[in-house]
Amino acid sequence: MAIKRLRGVLAPVVTPFTRDLAPDTKRFVRHCKWLLEHGCSGLAVFGTNSEANSLSAEERMMLLEELVQAGVPAEKLMPGTGCSALTDSVRLTAHAVKLGCAGALMLPPFYYKGVPDEGLFRNFSEVIERVADERLQVYLYHIPPVAQVPITLGLIERLLKRYPKIVAGIKDSSGDWSNTKAVLDAFAAQGFEVFAGSEVFLLRNMRAGGVGCITAGANVNPHGIDKAYKGWKTPEAEALQASIDVVRKVLQSQVSMIPALKATIAHFAADAEWMTVRPPLVELTPEQQVQMIRELGDVGFDMPGLR
């Protein structure tokens, strides 16, 4: 059975916690639905911005099941399933495929540093072989500033050659446009789908053969980013890109992006519990939140329909 591949704007959905740091299913479902109604074509739940690596495998599986049971279509979901431990990656990936998810966004194993591409190839290969399901669509997750373990062009080439129907694309969060461009030039023509890891690269990515972006900013600005995505071929493309860049700039100027996203949602939803983050992250102070909201107001930002 052919899977319909996701394109456009995907949010690595922030994970709400109750005050005692438990995953908050109710707020999670509500936010996911709001995102799909306001411009997201898909949800990359359990990404870096989801604090996914602060969640156990069981917590991730529970949240994914709750989402689907609450009516969020599995074909809109691209959960992060790449873990440090091979057996966790296999378990989460198999679980996502079984639920009917559109894809799995896979970090390389990220504890051991300086590992050879041969070891990373074996990791992805073992996951694909053990999951053994032709519906599996793997999106490689390149985020060297955080994972510190890169997905090189040579690794993509080997994986694509061995698993051409399963290795579907990449999220490039290197922050380095020359890398995204190199991936596009090398593999886009054969159907390998490239998502920019930040909306600041959206227009450039679309013009160079990419398919959209999976970006932190889509948690709060899905409507703006989707407008820029849909208008990338129009005369307004540059202006639309500029309008999302200013919002991203405010978010990115904060001490830490994830608490900033949560503080933004907390403000516009009038729901202080959204501020909560799991250690090792720390929430914004009230002063930092006030300052950020003022700056977002200055650039005309709003989150319609959230309250």
Binding positions for a second copy, rule: CB under 8 A: 21, 48, 53-59, 84-88, 91, 108-113, 115-116, 118-120, 122-123, 126, 145-149, 256, 278-282
Instruction: Give kind and range of the element (H or E) at residue 137.
Output: none
| Least Å from the CB of residue 93 to a second copy | 13
**Residues shown for the chain:** 307
| Least Å from the CB of residue 123 to a second copy | 4
**DSSP secondary structure letters along 149-160:** ----HHHHHHHH
Nearest CB to a second copy, comparing residues 240 and 275:
275
Residue 304 corresponds to which amino acid?
A: P
**DSSP secondary structure letters along 160-224:** HHH-TTTEEEEEE-SS-HHHHHHHHHHHGGGT-EEEESSGGGHHHHHHTT--EEE-GGGGT-HHH
| Least Å from the CB of residue 276 to a second copy | 12
Nearest CB to a second copy, comparing residues 182 and 282:
282
| Least Å from the CB of residue 226 to a second copy | 28
Nearest CB to a second copy, comparing residues 56 and 252:
56
| Least Å from the CB of residue 120 to a second copy | 5
Q: Give the Cα separation of 247 and 116 in Å (integer).
A: 38
Nearest CB to a second copy, comparing residues 3 and 62:
62
Q: Give the Cα separation of 36 and 94 in Å (integer).
A: 24
Q: Give the Cα separation of 161 and 98 in Å (integer).
A: 25
**Residues β-bridged to residue 194:** 170
| Least Å from the CB of residue 259 to a second copy | 10
| Least Å from the CB of residue 119 to a second copy | 4
Nearest CB to a second copy, comparing residues 75 and 176:
176
Nearest CB to a second copy, comparing residues 119 and 164:
119
Q: Is the peptide bond before 235 cis (omega within 30 degrees of 0)?
A: no
Nearest CB to a second copy, comparing residues 149 and 194:
149
Nearest CB to a second copy, comparing residues 21 and 299:
21
Q: Give the Cα separation of 292 and 254 in Å (integer).
A: 8
How far is CA 292 from each of CA 12, 14, 109, 253, 296, rounded to the nearest angstrom?
A: 21, 18, 34, 9, 6
| Least Å from the CB of residue 266 to a second copy | 18
* Vertex 239: Cα angle to 237 and 240 (nearest 5): 65
| Torsion angles phi and psi, residue 37, rounded to 5 | -80, -10
